[in-house]
A and B are shown apart, each in its own frame.
Chain A
Amino acid sequence: MSKPEFVYVTYIETTPEKMWEALTDSEFARRYWFGTEVRSDWKVGSPFALVSDGKTTDTGEILEADRPRRLSYTFKHELYETMREPATKVAFTIEPYGNLVKLTVTHEGFVEGSKLLGAVSTGWPAILSGLKSMLETGKPLAIPRAALGKEELAKEELDR
């Protein structure tokens, strides 16, 4: 039985440089990441944060920043108590594939019985589908925030 992790592969018609920009430019990311800002200076060792509606939802530290090939950071959820588990790791691998880019996202290091794993397994496909639509069509994907799956967990917290 392999360790719990989430892996997502997508192919996008773009360049590795544009892909890197899309993942690290806060203004651009807001348009496909459901209004979330990605904040960092993207240097190894620097802090990293996801900020949504003025609230910090997740934090971490940059582990690798090999532009435009590979980006990775630790990832710790901060907002919902039920998902405040030990830090995990997110890695983006950007490979040229003819005139396309193959993007592999690996999110690993979850504890047994992780609630965060379920949330990110729901969230990443929505975020990355939005990223693909932005890069290929210039238009954001009009899917509701509920697609991130965190609303159910938030509701659980409120119901306690």
Chain B
Amino acid sequence: MKIEQFKPAIVYTIYIAATPEKVWEALTTAEFSRKYFSGFAIEADLKIGGAFIARAPDGSVHISGEVIECDPPRRLTITWNVNWPALVEKLGPTLVTYEIEPAGEAVKLTMLQSHDRDISDDILSGGRAGWPAILSSLKSLLETGNALAIKMQPPERMLAALKEMGIGTP
């Protein structure tokens, strides 16, 4: 896979009152992710080529990927492929990069979702709705001790567009 061919399609920046190490831990462990990421457990083998999985509460794998870049606690890039039939075949892989920089006494976290081809706004609408919710909840968890209970509607526009491409959506 040639990382240079991937361009960011969604970028979200958020500042968090926590240490870089804590933010890294929250992004890469199930103990934290279950709370801010809709019950999904992140299981990460943090070395180049290691597996990176988001497992649903029922034990099934929702997102599967691989570690591409790993520089704790500064930078992590993983493939982030939702486990729906034909998705990667039709859309190519999805890359997610987390950049964690100190910013005074806080941390600047930037999430970049990248693709190696143009992806329609309809398909990107899912991520554009999802990432602010996930990362807002992560910030609250690290700053207040409690994640936010954000009731997201299913991303209908994205699901319809994926279905039209022949991708098996739930």
Contact = CB atoms under 8 A, between A and B. Distances in A.
Determine if chain A interacts with chain B.
yes
A11 B136 contact: yes
Interface stretch (A53-61, A75-83, A135-143): A135-143
A129 interface: yes
Contacts of B148: 11, 13, 100
Contacts of A9: 129, 132-133
Contacts of A141: 15, 17, 106
Contact of A136 (B12, B13, B14, B140): B140
Contacts of A11: 132-133, 136-137, 148, 150
A98 interface: yes
Interface residues of B, number: 25
Contacts of B133: 9, 11
Contacts of B132: 8-11
The secondary-structure label for the interface of chain B is mixed
Given A136-B144, A139-B17, A144 B149 contact: no
A147 B14 CA distance: 11
A107 interface: no
Contact of B151 (A97, A130, A133): A97
B115 interface: no
A141 B107 CA distance: 10
A125 B106 contact: no
B54 to A, nearest CB: 20
B149 A98 contact: yes
B164 interface: no
A38 interface: no
B151 A125 contact: no
Interface string B127-170: 00100110011011001100011110000000000000000000
A126 B108 CA distance: 9
Interface string B10-28: 0011111100000000000
Contacts of A49: none
Given A11-B150, A100-B149, A129-B14, 7 more contacts: A11-B133, A11-B137, A11-B148, A98-B150, A125-B13, A125-B15, A143-B106
Interface of B: 12-17, 103-106, 108, 121, 129, 132-133, 136-137, 139-140, 143-144, 148-151
Question: Closest 9 CB pairs between A and B?
Answer: A129-B15, A142-B105, A9-B132, A11-B136, A125-B13, A143-B104, A144-B104, A143-B103, A143-B106
